[in-house]
Copies of this chain bind each other. A is one copy, B any other.
Amino acid sequence: MLLGRGIMFAGAMGTGAAGSLTGAAAEPLKDDPWSLEMGSVVPAYQVPSRFEKDVVRTRSNPNNEFRNSHARTPHHLLQGTVTPNGLFFSISHSGLPDIDPAQHKLVIHGLVKQPLVYTVESLSRYPMVTRMHFLECSGNGAQMFSNEPVQATAQALHGLCSNAEWTGVLLSTLLEETGIDPKAKWLFGEGADSLSLHRSVPVKKALDDAMIALYQNGERIQPGNGYPMRLLLPGYQGNMNIKHVRRIKLIDQPAMSFYEAKTYSQILPDGKMWLFHFTMEVKSFITQPSFGHSLKEPGYYEISGIAYSGNGRISKVLVSADGGKSWAQAALQEPVLPKAFTRFRMPWRWDGQPAVLQSRAWDESGAVQPLRPEFVAARGQTSTPVTNPLGFPNQHYNSITSWGVDCIRVRRGHGRRRNAWPRQADQRG
């Protein structure tokens, strides 16, 4: 077992030999100011310490201009698997609507036997389920289609995914009540925000594990995540998980809405397109250490990160510290839950020499996170950071993230150095 190292007490205090300060005579810590005075008031709703002011979501539109807003989760500053609600990622196409939950309604209609309207209050009487699931924007990691490694944090590169405990009513429970016309093959979900983002979802998914979620991590879903109710489609790309959902209309074919016909499609190298590519594929990335962290001295560190798959449970994560030449199996934090973040950990002794940290995940369906050359061959790469040559946003990046470590700080690279791609290493991996 590789353990970390503490700072030797004797050394830290500059006194005595190791072991000489044991016993009742030791009075080792001075009283800091906060140990000498009454503290501040306990608030009704807690917030983080003021010393954590930099642990926030980075925002693409902090002045709320008339366009999209992205707010990214600071994965490099977090631990565990739950993303706290304050830091859960959010993408809004028209700002945060100020919805009165007493007025909000959800209608299920179209090819059903009995159209019905639901409110927050009426749904609260239904059988509920509680499940841990990740959500990920299909554009998460879009910068990594770039043919040059982007120097950026895990927050900037992977901050459009988060993980929470959701509680709500299974959509299958409500559809059992409305009944389904046999002609219905899809449903059309629509939000109550002014953009009315809408997407088509196969009825099969609706009857599987889709949920009308009311609670996130125990409390009501917050406005940026769909207050007061959200269509949750575990494992499916984020934008289909309609926030502020007000309409579910059963239909016989996809609605071909703007967002599914253009924005959220993926152009392939051969010019064809993934039009309905819903599942977020198996993926992992290292959060500690990662870009933005400093390793001040050689010695023991824990390599830790997040793995998840829209197919189900993570079955294995391998970690490399030499850019893919050798791999070792990481410990997975129990419980390993389906379609949820799994934290992986690996003790690592850094010898102070350049290193390249990588992780690679497998899921229970047998899917594996592709190496970079495989990914590029199948999906292409671009010289622009987040769009392909047709101007479509890059989607569904799930290849490996490499963090190059030099003597001072962790930096980003697909490979060993900023300008050196680890193609050979990846092929051997």
**Which residues of A are at the interface with B, using a C-beta cutoff of 8 A?**
1-10, 12-13, 18-19, 21-24, 26, 28-29, 32, 34-52, 55-59, 61-64, 66, 69, 71, 77-88, 90, 92, 94-105, 107, 109-119, 122-130, 164-167, 173-174, 176-178, 181, 192-194, 196, 214-215, 217-220, 222-225, 227-228, 246-247, 249, 288, 299-302, 304, 333, 335, 337, 343, 345, 347
Contact = CB atoms under 8 A, between A and B. Distances in A.
A48 B222 contact: yes
Contacts of A6: 116-118, 122, 174, 177-178
A interface SS class: loop
A81 B132 CA distance: 10
A18 to B, nearest CB: 5
Contact of A222 (B10, B46, B119, B218): B46
A34 B302 contact: no
A101 B127 CA distance: 44
A39 B300 contact: no
B300 A113 contact: no
Contact of A49 (B18, B48, B99): B99
Contacts of A302: 125-128
A115 B49 contact: no
Given A7-B122, A18-B114, A64-B40, A128 B81 contact: no
A130 B86 contact: no
A192 B38 contact: no
A299 B125 contact: yes
Q: Which one of A18, A45, A115 has the highest number of Cβ atoms from chain B below 10 Å of its Cβ? A: A115
Given A39-B194, A82-B165, 10 more contacts: A6-B122, A6-B178, A21-B109, A35-B246, A39-B92, A48-B220, A78-B219, A80-B215, A82-B82, A128-B302
